[in-house]
Amino acid sequence: MPLYEHVFLARQDASPQQVEELTAQMTGVVEQHGGKVTKTENWGVRSLTYRMNKNRKAHFVLLNIDAPSAAIAEIERQERISEEVIRYLSVRVEELEEGPSAMMRKADRDREDRGGGFHGDRDGGFRGDRGGGFRGDRDGGFRGDRGGFRGDRDGGFRGERGPRRQRDEAETAEATPAPALTPEAQT
């Protein structure tokens, strides 16, 4: 039978029990059509990139499914009807991923990073202690001590391009505009 990865997003105000019931309902639909759900992962409530149906967050659930395409069609039909489901996506894959998905591995990494100290603190020191100055400072002093205005390299005004070169007379003659034609000269 074909293999599918199916993810659906449930509304943020749905309780975890409602999300579990929705997942059980989808699993039941797959089993009625002669398939099986090999893995179920609840990724929890996560922020959405953009608002969908006035929701800024949603419950994310992944189902790895080994079932005929009719089962997937029925799941998607049920999710279109349900008011709890914001979005869904079914993808046919060659093989199902073993172990935790990338989202669950990322969540585990995030929990490990929260161990002790400040976030990102690897060598036990204050984040700004790399060069003896303020954060992001490479030469040991205040950030603005490089001379001149922000963004310049030579210590001059930002718009300065260096000394002007002298123009030749021929170049100046080419650059001067031609005199406007009078109405008598146009005929």
Reported as a single tens digit per residue, the pLDDT across 51-99 is 988 999 999 999 999 999 999 999 999 999 999 999 999 999 998 888 8
What is this structure's pTM?
0.57
Residue 13 contacts residue 19 (beta carbons within 8 Å): no
Residue 126's Cβ-count burial label (10 Å; 0-12, 13-18, 19+) is exposed
CB proximity list for 22: less than 8 A, separation 6 or greater? 8, 10, 14, 61, 82, 84, 85
Checking if the pLDDT of 115 tops 70, the result is no
Looking at the DSSP bridge assignments, the partners of residue 87 are: 9
Checking if the pLDDT of 137 tops 60, the result is no
Reported as a single tens digit per residue, the pLDDT across 7-24 is 999 999 999 999 999 999
The residue that leads in pLDDT, 179 or 94, is 94
